[in-house]
Structure 1
Amino acid sequence: MSVEFVNYNNQYKELVEDYQVTEEQLQFTNSPLAALELCETDADRYPIIVFHNSQLVSFFVLYINKGVEPYSDNCNAILLRSLSTDYRHLRKGFSKSILSQLPQFIKQKFININEIILAVNAENKTAQDLYKKIGFVDNEKRIQWRNSQQIIMNYAL
């Protein structure tokens, strides 16, 4: 499935405002609008929107430098945060397609990066299984976030 990664800018604001996430999704991730607020004050956060056939289907943030520190000692790692799929596009294979294409995108945009890190809620078995299928590995590190345990996973580039 073909998807296009685009660096977010304000020309896409209305599309992101129309982006739909459910309360169930928000148990495991930030909304794009909340994530964008954090990006405004942190130059190490890179918001990315994902299109399929000119429709906004997904959103995530790539975080470098200090953002990686709680998750990894690797100064050449990048943290994947706030990954979500618009509710209207769930269960269509977008997450798998995005995660499969993400390593190549990162290699092109962040030439010094050699590892992708993410945190997944211990209760979110569906996401854990997907990450493992793509090639992410549970590195046995755990952190607390929003009163729940997060499993730290990594993908070597």
Structure 2
Amino acid sequence: MSNIHLKYTEKQDYISLLNYTLPEDQINFTALPEQTFQRLEERTDNHAKPITILLDDEPIGFFVLDYGEDKLDLTKNENSLLLRSLSINPAFQGKGFGKIAMNLVDDFVKENFPTINELVLAVNFLNKSAYDLYLKVGYIDDGSQREWINGMQHLLRKKI
């Protein structure tokens, strides 16, 4: 049985995470780890934490938990975290690992961010597979949406 778990991204994870790219139909919807690492280095706050998704000990995916001001574009809740930049190495897609990882986020947040009681995210209307995944793991679509760089986005939330 494969063991999926989450951890804060460490330097030794970078090589595996930088070695994959995404198919054309996904590239417009999320930032690759390389792009995300660059953005995180450019930030002046320390409010965005990169998280590695591991299969046993192999990094197979990545996302960011962000408690900076950007979350307030999606919620008025100061005790929320913005989940952003989720990607899974295409070699590991379609096996349920993304769903398992997203189901682990709640406990990871409770353990590492004890004051947080809500997760928020934005997902492009055209990114049906990601939208369906988030609904399956408990995110709620209350109809909130926004116009964004690559088109309209659903604004989803999940109480934890």
TM-score range, shorter chain: over 0.9
Match of 2:87 in 1: 84
Q: Which amino acid aligns with 2:109?
A: I
Q: Which of these residues, 139, 148, 151, is aligned with residue 145 of structure 1? A: 148
Distance across 2 between alignment mates of 1:3 and 1:11: 18
> How many residues are paired up?
157
> Is this contact kept in 1: 2:120–2:157, CA < 8 A?
yes
Partner of 1:2: 3
Q: CA offset at residue 87 of structure 1?
A: 0.8
On the 8 A contact 1:79/1:118 being kept in 2, the answer is yes
- Residue number in structure 2 paired with 1:32: 33
Give the Cα–Cα distance (whole angstroms) in 2 for the partners of residues 2 and 145 of structure 1.
36
Aligned Cα root-mean-square deviation (Å):
1.3
Report deviation, 1:82. Answer: 0.3
Q: 1:71 maps to which residue?
A: 74
Query: Structure 2 length normalisation: TM-score?
Result: 0.92
4+ long deviations beyond 4 Å? none
Q: 1:125 aligns with which of 114, 128, 135?
A: 128
CA distance in 2 between partners of 1:106 and 1:7 (Å) = 11
C-alpha contact (below 8 Å) 1:20/1:88 kept by paired residues: no
Aligned-residue offset at 1:5: 1.0
Q: Secondary structure at the match of 1:69?
A: helix
Partner of 2:112: 109
Number of the residue aligned with 1:135: 138
Q: Distance in 1 between matches of 2:37 and 2:146?
A: 23
Listed as ranges, the gaps of 5+ residues in structure 2 are: none
CA contact (8 A) 1:50 1:58 kept: yes
Paired AA for residue 154 in structure 1: R
Gap regions ≥5 residues in structure 1: none
Deviation of residue 67 (structure 1)? 2.1
Which residue of 44, 49, 54 corresponds with 2:52?
Answer: 49
TM-score (normalizing by structure 1): 0.93
Q: Which amino acid aligns with 1:142?
A: Q
Deviation at 1:22, TM superposition (A): 2.1
CA distance in 2, matches of 1:51, 1:88: 13
CA contact (8 A) 2:120 2:155 kept: yes
Task: Give the CA deviation at 1:145.
Answer: 2.1
